[in-house]
Amino acid sequence: MGNPDGPGAQTDRFFHWLQSHAGVRHNLSVSGMVGVVRPPRPSRREIDRATTSTLRERLGELLGIDPSRIYLTHGATEGNALVLAYLARTGRRARGSPGRVRAWMPEYVPLWEAALASGFSAGPARGPAAVAVVSNPRNPEGGLWERREMEARTDGDRAVLIDETFREFTEAPSLAAPGHRGWWCTGTFTKAYGGDALRVGWIVSPPEEAERFRRWHTLLTDSVGPASLAGAIGCLEARDRLLGEARSRLDRYRPLLARHRPEAAGLAAPVFFDRTPGVDARRLAVRALRRSILVAPGVYFGDPGGVRICLTRPQFPADFAAYLRFRDDETGRRSDPRPVQTALRAPSLRPR
């Protein structure tokens, strides 16, 4: 994926695209549950009592990980940046250069660009590389790579940064749990928990790096404030309610999407990459705006062959129907729904 303007340019355009059109009627570009699921508000007393170690311990219990491998951050973005800067420095010291990064496009572009900004050079999709970066579940494709697949794909890579931002939309365990050598995982309260206002995330280091990374983390980050700590602890206490809501929403919308895109039947995250063979997907996204529909063009994920749509908002059924009508008009093809095998009754979408 080229970066003619330097690392960060594509990420900047991506966020500008999302923010500058956020007022559209049919917003299919919101990837988290903000405003849909509501984290509990901590009381004064809970804020006074919240500590870093309590949150690390609770996360440790949940993830099945020794808390000494868990580091709190202000979100997954910060976690990814810290890990990548650490790995780049380690590479420089040991071998004179950070080495190469690889990714599997389409990929969440800030992950890729943060690696370039840290000093890694762009490597081919085939390994081995100094670091592989991968969102899992995959953003924007929505699939989940199980442990075996991750091992096979990253075989030979010195380190792997696995961004598990969307993992809690699924029942899948964190790939950090068994402490795979070289595997780093990041997570966040900003997506499935709807905790945008909290700004809390975490990093899990591989066991062999826990001690050295602790110093790096302590040196470079501010600690998470008590109100955010208490909010995150509250999210874990209300986890069943919050994740139940987030997951059941995905369970309702997935079959609705899969009636038109059968490959979406196995989505693990509320994102989907809608490929548009023979059509300029960027132009499609620009034209969608004229009908007040916001999707994210694939160029922002290193793959110009489609657009990303998100399945998070309560308006998804109507928004998706509007998108389908628009897309059919643009491509001259009809999106006839197909029956899908599901225990859930999908809200009906009127075919045209």
Cα atoms in the 13 Å half-sphere on the side-chain side of 271: 32
In terms of CB distance, is 163 or 303 closer to ligand PLP? 163
User: HSE-up of 190 (CA within 13 Å, CB side)?
Assistant: 22
Tell me how far, at minimum, the Cβ of 34 lies from ligand PLP, in Å: 10
The pair of three-digit structure tokens given for residue 265, joined into one six-digit string: 């039947």
Under the binding rule (CB under 6 A), the answer on residue 188 touching ligand PLP is yes
Residue 163 in contact with ligand PLP, rule: CB under 6 A:
yes
Which amino acid would we find at residue 57? E
Least distance to ligand PLP, CB of residue 188, Å:
3
Residue nearest to ligand PLP (CB): 75
Which is closer to ligand PLP, CB of 90 or CB of 228? 228
Look up residue 79 and give its two tokens: 């976690």
| Minimum distance of ligand PLP from residue 337's CB (angstroms) | 28
Which pair of tokens denotes residue 75? 């979100």
Which residues from 138-157 bind ligand PLP, rule CB under 6 A? 139
Span near ligand PLP by CB under 6 A; candidates 69-77, 87-95, 119-127, 277-285: 69-77
Nearer Cβ to ligand PLP (268/324): 268
- In 3D space, the residue among 238, 56, 247, 111 whose CA is nearest the CA of residue 166 turns out to be 247
Please report how close the Cβ of residue 29 comes to ligand PLP at its closest, in angstroms: 10
Q: Is residue 276 a contact point for ligand PLP (CB under 6 A)?
A: no
**Minimum CB–partner distance for residue 259 and ligand PLP (Å):** 25
Which residues pair with residue 26 across a beta bridge? 293
**Residue 11 interacting with ligand PLP (CB under 6 A):** no
| 293-294/296-297 β-pairing | unpaired
Q: Is 165 in the site for ligand PLP (CB under 6 A)?
A: yes
Alpha-carbon distance 327 to 325, whole Å? Answer: 6
Q: Which two tokens stand for residue 344?
A: 């859930």
Separation of alpha carbons 335 and 342, rounded Å: 20
Query: Minimum CB separation from ligand PLP for residue 192, in Å?
Result: 11
Question: What sign does the CA torsion over 135, 232, 170, 259 have?
Answer: negative
Q: Choose between 29 and 335: whose C-beta lies nearer to ligand PLP.
A: 29
Assess 136 for contact with ligand PLP (CB under 6 A): no
Site string for ligand PLP, 72-101 (x = CB under 6 A): ---xxx------------------------
Q: How far is the CB of 338 from ligand PLP (least distance, A)?
A: 29
Q: Which tokens go with 102? A: 């690889």
Strand partners, 101: 122, 131
Give the burial class of 348: count Cβ atoms within 10 A of its Cβ; 0-12 exposed, 13-18 middle, 19 or more buried: exposed
Residue 299 is classified by DSSP as: G
In terms of CB distance, is 161 or 256 closer to ligand PLP? Answer: 161
Q: Is 108 in the site for ligand PLP (CB under 6 A)?
A: yes
- Asked whether position 184 contacts ligand PLP by CB under 6 A, the answer is no
**Residue 32 or 317 with smaller CB distance to ligand PLP:** 32
Cβ nearer to ligand PLP, comparing 109 with 130: 109
Single out the residue of 318, 317, 309 nearest to residue 252, CA to CA.
317
* Cα four-point dihedral sign 331, 336, 342, 348: positive
Contacting residues for 255 by C-beta, under 8 A, at least 6 apart? 265, 340, 342, 344, 346
* Site string (20-49) toward ligand PLP, x via CB under 6 A: -----------x------------------
Which residues contribute to the site for ligand PLP (CB under 6 A)? Answer: 31, 75-77, 108, 135, 139, 163, 165, 188, 190, 201
